[in-house]
A = this chain, B = another copy of it.
């Protein structure tokens, strides 16, 4: 089959790759009706992460189970499933505490920008639907796999509460779905920091009540003004840079909660500033598996439409154009179909 491989900065290719097959008795093979490109794929694409060898790409997926290994008990061929970008056995102590993305048997998925995919630890990683979903719901179910799960974790880790004031730093797909998540959790005021018109518009549709276009000190000052000098209860840092992290910490009130859900790139936190900021800080790779059943239910009930973050759809074979569109911020998030 063909799949997506990153060779170097801005050099992504659609080329022959080996077909996935059952390797471990706990594996499953999925056929993917759709897949997508993640904001985090842009880090190596832009040369901001080393690419020591050609890297198969893609970690967001949902699809039909085609085959399972002999030790898979709960997932069956024919089911439609959604899984997390991090595999989990769902039984180890970390999984039981809800931190599936720190599972002792965790592997980070790749190779999902392709028509077929091998998923390790199928029983612990995949969540099946009772029946195949209507095709129009597939983008929103696909979003559960990472981008919505991560936005939801951002809101949860920032302790968004009914009536609370929330700031979202970052208007990528994760940030926008952080807005949607905060709205679902009952936040009263949701301030999206964004300077991009299309993203502001979708942010408002998802529930943002205020937009702050300024960044850095000026952005912080505007948030402080909007919160009567107090600062926000919850701040979701959905970028992963030093500037975004400091902006997030400085937007929170003393005792407020700051989450960070994008892999930080060369971020260093000064202990003294963190100390006197008095914020709570929590982040990491989103434990999507914890939230999957609930998020899939919200999608199936039609209560949320996270698939709206996909504003460009391409055939899988045009994956390189998809990367370009996201790199140049022409697209928020790209859906790929076989």
Could you tell me which A residues sit within 8 Å of B by CB distance?
A: 93-94, 97-99, 101-102, 228, 230, 240, 242, 245, 253-255, 260, 263-272, 274-285
In the bound complex, do residue A284 and residue B254 qualify as a contact, i.e. CB atoms below 8 Å apart? yes
Contacts of A284 in B (CB 8 A): 254, 275-278
**Nearest chain B CB to A231 CB, angstrom units:** 9
A230, A269, A278, A282 pick with most chain B CB within 10 angstroms? A278
In the complex, what distance in Å separates the CA atom of A270 from the CA atom of B242?
11
In the complex, what distance in Å separates the CA atom of A242 from the CA atom of B275?
13
Given A267-B271, A274-B269, answer yes or no on A255-B102 (Cβ-Cβ < 8 Å). yes
Given A280-B282, A281-B281, answer yes or no on A275-B254 (Cβ-Cβ < 8 Å). no
In the bound complex, do residue B285 and residue A282 qualify as a contact, i.e. CB atoms below 8 Å apart? no
Partner of A272, one of B267, B271, B275: B267
Main secondary structure on chain A at its contact with chain B? mixed
In the complex, what distance in Å separates the CA atom of A267 from the CA atom of B275?
10
Partner of A230, one of B94, B254, B278, B279: B94
In the bound complex, do residue A275 and residue B281 qualify as a contact, i.e. CB atoms below 8 Å apart? no
* 21 A-B interface contacts by CB (under 8 A): A93-B230, A94-B253, A94-B254, A97-B255, A99-B255, A102-B255, A102-B278, A240-B271, A242-B271, A245-B271, A254-B284, A260-B275, A264-B274, A267-B272, A275-B283, A275-B285, A276-B284, A276-B285, A278-B284, A279-B282, A280-B280
In the complex, what distance in Å separates the CA atom of A281 from the CA atom of B277?
12
In the bound complex, do residue B275 and residue A94 qualify as a contact, i.e. CB atoms below 8 Å apart? no
In the complex, what distance in Å separates the CA atom of A284 from the CA atom of B230?
17
In the complex, what distance in Å separates the CA atom of A255 from the CA atom of B245?
20
10 closest Cβ pairs, A-B complex: A267-B271, A264-B271, A102-B254, A278-B284, A269-B269, A99-B254, A99-B255, A281-B281, A280-B282, A93-B230
In the bound complex, do residue B282 and residue A272 qualify as a contact, i.e. CB atoms below 8 Å apart? no
Q: Which residue of B lies closest to A260 (CB)?
A: B275
Q: Which residue of B lies closest to A227 (CB)?
A: B93
In the bound complex, do residue A278 and residue B99 qualify as a contact, i.e. CB atoms below 8 Å apart? yes
In the bound complex, do residue A270 and residue B268 qualify as a contact, i.e. CB atoms below 8 Å apart? yes
Contacts of A245 in B (CB 8 A): 271
Partner of A253, one of B93, B253, B254, B277: B93
Contacts of A279 in B (CB 8 A): 282
Q: Which residue of B lies closest to A258 (CB)?
A: B281
In the complex, what distance in Å separates the CA atom of A285 from the CA atom of B277?
9
Q: Which residue of B lies closest to A101 (CB)?
A: B278
